[in-house]
Amino acid sequence: MAPDQRAKTRRRFVQAAVVVGVLSVGRALLPAGSDAPETGGSPRARPRPSAPHTVPSGPVPGGGPAGAAPDPHAYRLRPMAGETSRSGPGASPPHPEVAFHLSTDRREVFLTFDDGPHPFHTPHVLRILRRHGVRATFFVIGENAVEFPELLCDIADEGHAVGNHTWTHPQLTALPPGAVRSELGRTSNLIEDILGTAPDLARAPYGEWDAPALSICNELGMSPVGWAIDSQDWTVPGARTIAHTVLDAMHPGAIVLSHDGGGDRRQTVAALEWYLPRLLDEGYRPIRITP
């Protein structure tokens, strides 16, 4: 069996054990004196999602979601502080400064997707990227990844980078250091358990970093990532507007912010379907971020 096939098999084998393990650990009490915040009652199991529906290939009009989106507050686990293999001996040193552009002497750009994995939108984003043979970077939320570990495996198996976007999407600059370490460390631990490798990239929710959060990010072996182009998809302005926002601002080395979770992202999917082939026609090459 080829090495990458063995890696895929291992990921699929451990993902069920990871969910059980995380749920069990989440029921444990935090150590005395921890300053990580309380996050509600005991976790409860949720049914597995149904297969994704088809998303229209063309742009969709703006406006609110057509159906009820999953409640992001319906699934909470008690945070735990953690360290990862990226912060241990032999780990590559992370970059201390937030990256907004990446230097390149070619027309390379870096598409990023935040707030997933999402059982409806993430598979459609992956389908479009796969069709055009390009790679991207997904900054995942821990509480979503623990619920849909198979999607995390799909992202990695298709050659995309997986980054850390905290466990519950809080504003890190509003948290004490122990809670920041909990949000980032716990998510890194989960990603490492599922994929076999801890993330080496992190993005703060809302792009808000401060010195303590950056220091903790680096201690956990991750380089912080921002963005140069905000697609503004989170404002739900319509797929055509999202597409033109990306195309009009595009330049070599740009990091582009989009979302595959956190709400109704059908406009993001439709916009990606429209602007990605145009980027390729203009000679741009989307690739994954590497520290």
- To the query of whether residue 114 is one of the catalytic residues in this protein, the response is yes
Q: Is the pLDDT at 164 greater than 50, yes or no? A: yes
d(CA 113, CA 128) in angstroms, rounded, equals 13
Rounded distance, CA 1 to CA 9, Å?
10
The pLDDT assigned to 63 comes to 32
Q: Between 214 and 66, whose confidence is greater?
A: 214
User: What does the pLDDT average to over 155-180?
Assistant: 98
CA 148 to chain CA centroid, Å, is 12
What pLDDT shows up at residue 107?
A: 95
Residue 218: partners with Cβ closer than 8 Å, 6 or more residues away:
94, 96, 224
Confidence of residue 291 (pLDDT cuts 50, 70, 90): confident
Q: Is the pLDDT of residue 249 over 70?
A: yes
Evaluate if residue 196 carries a pLDDT over 80.
yes
Q: Rounded mean pLDDT of 135-139?
A: 98
CB atoms near residue 206 (< 10 Å): 11
Q: Determine what percent of the chain is predicted with pLDDT higher than 90.
A: 65
Q: How far apart are CA 83 and CA 215, in angstroms?
A: 14
For the chain, the residue count is 291
pLDDT at 248 over 70: yes
Question: What integer pLDDT is reported at residue 276 of this predicted model?
Answer: 98
13-29 residue pLDDT tens: 555 455 445 444 443 33
228 pLDDT tier (thresholds 50, 70, 90): very high
- Tell me what the pLDDT averaged over the chain comes to: 78
Q: Dig out the tokens for 248 from the structure.
A: 């009009």
Tokens 């609110």 belong to 64
Question: pLDDT value at position 104?
Answer: 84
Point out the catalytic residue in the list 114, 193, 200, 264. 114
Note the pLDDT of residue 73. 31
Q: Could you tell me the two tokens for 7?
A: 């890696």
Residue 122 pLDDT greater than 80, yes or no: yes
- Residue 121's identity, in one-letter code, is H
pLDDT, tens only, 32-78: 333 333 333 333 333 333 333 333 333 333 333 333 333 333 222 22
Q: What is the DSSP letter of 86?
A: G
Q: Which residue has the higher pLDDT, 4 or 168?
A: 168
Q: Which of 193, 200, 259, 260 is catalytic?
A: 259
Q: Are 257 and 291 in contact (CB under 8 A)?
A: no
Mean pLDDT along residues 226-241: 97
- CA-only gyration radius of the chain, Å: 18
